[in-house]
Amino acid sequence: MEFGIQTRGDWEYVLSTARWAEDRGLAAIALPDHYLQRGDEKEKPAWDHLVHLAALAAETTQIGLVSLVSPIGFRHPAVLYKMGVTLDEISGGRFTLGVGAGWLEEEFEVYGLSFPEVKVRMEMLEEAMAYLRAAITPEAIAFEGRHFQLAEFDPHPHPTNLRLMAGGAGKSKARSITARYADEYNLYAREAGEYREVVEKTRAEAKEIGRDPDEIFWSSAGPGIAAKKERDYRRLLEKLSELTGVGADDIEERYEERGYPHGSGAKAAEMVAALEDAGCQRYYPQVFVGEDDPSDFDLILDAYQG
């Protein structure tokens, strides 16, 4: 199992996390794309993740850089294409562009962005992925959709290694989009049996349309709350409880129900191993609780690696 890390914060925090991750030998650092941190926390700052990723591309040399993921309602796919190929250039082919339908309605509302019903958002996502796949493919053909159109010409520049990621909960539309267009699918952490079912259904659909299922890279992400020592785990859990206003016992109960890798001792590593056995190839622990203490990252990663 490969490991990445997903985080967010101001530039100094993001940069220090990226340098830690590169020194640690992680496969990638991922940043989420939100204009609000959470719908009920409008006073907390949220930066543009693609600008941060572009800066990281110049400040790092080896680690993969991942957008996990950008709501299609934020940017037209032409803008995503241009930003994606530019990040590909700056990073030397280390960038993965993740695109999703969006879910945090409040951030669309407060900034005056359109937030149609989920069926329409998924239509937009499917068209955007088809548009992007056409745009980054040499000698691309035109794309004509209800929401987006690409003229019949060969867009330049061509990327060296720009990869497209889809993200979501593994429902039928997302599986179809992944089977057709995505290089990576990030299926949020869940019980290993559920993860396996999504992988198998998506691989079968890819095979049915004539695509090699092995071309799709499988990843997952989940809250990074784990440590080998019980006292360290309890401290991280209490920190998350203070941040969210949710009781520690309630957090643990929720994570247990949803299959998020967590806990002390060998538990988190065993849960990650079960996801790997189900088909997951990379895990991104989400570290959003210790924005003033990156030293906790080693505790969390050690627990996941076992």
Residue 39: its pLDDT value, please? 54
The mean pLDDT value of the chain amounts to 94
- State the Cα–Cα distance between residues 92 and 296, nearest whole angstrom: 30
Query: Is residue 300 packed enough to be buried (19+ CB in 10 Å), middle (13-18) or exposed (0-12)?
Result: buried
Domains and CATH numbers, the chain: 2-305 (3.20.20.30)
Determine the Cα angle at 70 with ends 35 and 214, to 5°: 155
Cβ neighbour number for residue 211 with a 10 Å cutoff: 15
E strand or H helix that includes residue 227 = strand 226-227
pTM of structure: 0.94
Percent of the chain with pLDDT over 90: 86
Residue 250: its pLDDT value, please? 95
Residue 139: its pLDDT value, please? 76
- State the Cα–Cα distance between residues 221 and 168, nearest whole angstrom: 11
**pLDDT over threshold 80, residue 241:** yes
Residue 291: its pLDDT value, please? 55
Q: What is the pLDDT of residues 122-176, one digit of tens each?
A: 999 999 999 999 999 887 778 999 999 999 888 989 999 999 999 988 899 999 9
Q: What is the pLDDT of residues 3-62, one digit of tens each?
A: 999 999 999 999 999 999 999 999 999 999 999 986 556 778 899 999 999 999 999 999
- State the Cα–Cα distance between residues 173 and 180, nearest whole angstrom: 11
- State the Cα–Cα distance between residues 267 and 70, nearest whole angstrom: 32
Q: Got the DSSP string for 85-125? A: HHHHHHHTS-EEEEEE----HHHHHHTT-----HHHHHHHH
Instruction: Specify which residues 286 forms β-bridges with.
Output: 6, 223
Residue 41: its pLDDT value, please? 67
Residue 49: its pLDDT value, please? 96
| Structure tokens that stand for 46 in this block | 């949220």
**pLDDT over threshold 90, residue 292:** no
- State the Cα–Cα distance between residues 243 and 236, nearest whole angstrom: 11
E strand or H helix that includes residue 39 = none
For 260-273, what is the mean pLDDT? 97
- Angle, in degrees to the nearest 10, between helices 192-208 and 172-181: 50
Q: What is the pLDDT of residues 69-99, one digit of tens each?
A: 999 999 999 999 999 999 999 999 999 999 9
- Please state, in angstroms and as integers, the Cα–Cα distance from residue 7 to each residue in 47, 86, 117, 267, 284, following that order: 12, 22, 28, 23, 9
Residue 90: its pLDDT value, please? 98
Higher pLDDT, 290 or 109: 109
Residue 44: its pLDDT value, please? 81
Amino acid at 281: Q
Residue 37: its pLDDT value, please? 80
**pLDDT over threshold 80, residue 288:** no
